[in-house]
Structure 1
């Protein structure tokens, strides 16, 4: 799709310049990649209008650049129509990680755990910290926090399943999250329930909501629409 966008722009530019050689070069590439869509996704074959490219090339060869430009505009409308019907669904299905296939190693037991179970445990620990701190069970709150730290570290290792550099992980489980964990620990030890709740809320946004907004929404959508 990126190549098609570039090739359509090149054809448009060379049509405006009435440069037959430029139009021929880029329209040939455009035709090749456009027709390849039907090979990659046979279900979309009937949506394609490859004749428009042939008409464009023929008009350009005859020096009728106005007619060639008209064919290019029609081709653009065909692209928009397909994008309207399929782009969001295609992105959700094919560009979203399948977390059901990703496992997280528990650093204590060295067992590979399903992603869903890891998420459920994180939710349990966050809520246990909140409950224990509110009920003045400091030791339980601190033990749960230590466990949460470890589970987040374990979870962070799974980022490498998709991301090849550390930047995406750092945005969610980096310095700011570590600061929130430290501030939360201090608040628990001081018995300051309001600060504990505030730091826990900040942590939930930094470590949970940010990740969910990027990954979970699309993953849930994928599960709902995938065949």
Structure 2
């Protein structure tokens, strides 16, 4: 009888735990609303400029100006910035028709009427509602838009190998990883000549990788943050440790190079690129 009760209790607890686990899993699920296709025309590369992004900047600036001038009851400047905002806001449904129902155009009308009549209380109310409208849309779409249109995409980048043969970006990065490991393996096994050779190969691979930065960046500063003087000094110190055949120093400097070069670059680029590919490719 006791055994039957124990089995019954085990069964009950199993059902409860399974139920709680299912509920917990369900609570962790998230749904993603995909971006409308028409949005792409307002971002690079389909457009020469990031038109949608700069329109958002303008709307935010204009709402702030309206709010502050209405608080000062400055009718002239409230009207000026209200006209600017309403003009931009009314264009949004034509730019992205799929979002027409998301945009509270009636609040823009209310703002315009209140600004023209000098009803500052209604102006403030309309601004508050429009700001909430903006936040709701941003909560749903802003991160996705940034990932899709403003995060790195390396699929079209090619980099030459040591023989001048063009390779796709992923192949080059895989070669870099193998070279770093080759240095580590050879130094642990005290094969110092092989480790030094791999270190020279690493420099060449990094140099050719740096040349690809101009695919996105139009100046040297972004490249120098990762592949600048600090990286060069660390690689010099790595070579010195290899020359002196010092396993501990070699491991330390190789680790520093991995942080200064690899981790910094990956922290900026790879996480965003991988997420973008996962969601949109």
TM-score by length of 2: 0.77
Aligned match of 2:104: 49
State whether structure 2 residue 26 is matched by structure 1 residue 26: no
**Match of 2:90?**
35
- Counterpart in 1 of 2:267? 213
SS in 1 for 2:155: helix
Deviations 1:101-124 (A, max 9, x none): 111233x43332211001000000
Structure 1 segments (4+ residues) deviating >6 Å: none
Q: Deviations over 1:151-184 (max 9, x none)?
A: 0000000011111111111110011111111111
The structure with more radius of gyration: 2
Give the aligned partner of residue 153 of structure 2.
98
Alignment partners' CA distance in 2, 1:73 and 1:120? 51
Task: Please give the secondary structure, in 2, of the residue aligned with 1:101.
Answer: coil
Residue aligned with 2:163, SS:
coil
How far apart in 2 are the matches of 1:42 and 1:158? 37
Q: Distance between the aligned counterparts of 2:180 and 2:190, measured in 1? A: 15
Displacement of 1:206: 0.9
Task: Give distance in 1, aligned partners of 2:230 and 2:115.
Answer: 58
Identify the match of residue 143 of structure 1 among 197, 203, 213. Answer: 197
* Correspondence for 1:3: 58
Counterpart of 1:175 in structure 2 is 229
- How far residue 45 of structure 1 moved from its aligned partner, in angstroms, is 2.1
Q: Structure 2 regions of 5+ residues with no counterpart?
A: 1-55
Q: Matches of 1:45 and 1:123 in 2, distance apart?
A: 48
Alignment partner of 1:111 is 2:165: yes
For 1:201 and 1:150, the matched residues in 2 are separated by 19
The answer (yes or no) to whether the contact 2:86–2:112 under 8 Å persists in 1 is no
The separation in 1 between residues aligned to 2:158 and 2:267, in whole angstroms, is 20
Tell me, in whole angstroms, the C-alpha distance in 1 between the residues paired with 2:93 and 2:254: 51
- Say which is worse superposed, 58-67 or 159-168, in terms of deviation: 58-67
Q: Distance in 2 between matches of 1:69 and 1:35?
A: 19
Q: Secondary structure at the match of 2:91?
A: helix
Say which SS state the counterpart of residue 151 (structure 2) adopts: coil
Alignment root-mean-square deviation, CA:
1.3
Aligned length: 226
TM-score normalised according to structure 1 size? 0.95
Deviations 1:117-148 (A, max 9, x none): 01000000000000000001111101111000
User: Which whole-Å CA distance do the structure 2 matches of 1:22 and 1:86 have between them?
Assistant: 32
Could you say which residue in structure 2 is the equivalent of 1:89? 144
1:37-62 Cα distance to aligned partner (Å, 9 max, x none): 33333332221112111101112222
1:190 maps to which of 240, 244, 251: 244
CA displacement at 1:218 relative to structure 2:
0.6
Q: Counterpart of 1:121?
A: 175
**Distance in 1 of aligned mates of 2:96 and 2:275:** 21
Correspondent of 1:160 among 214, 233, 240: 214
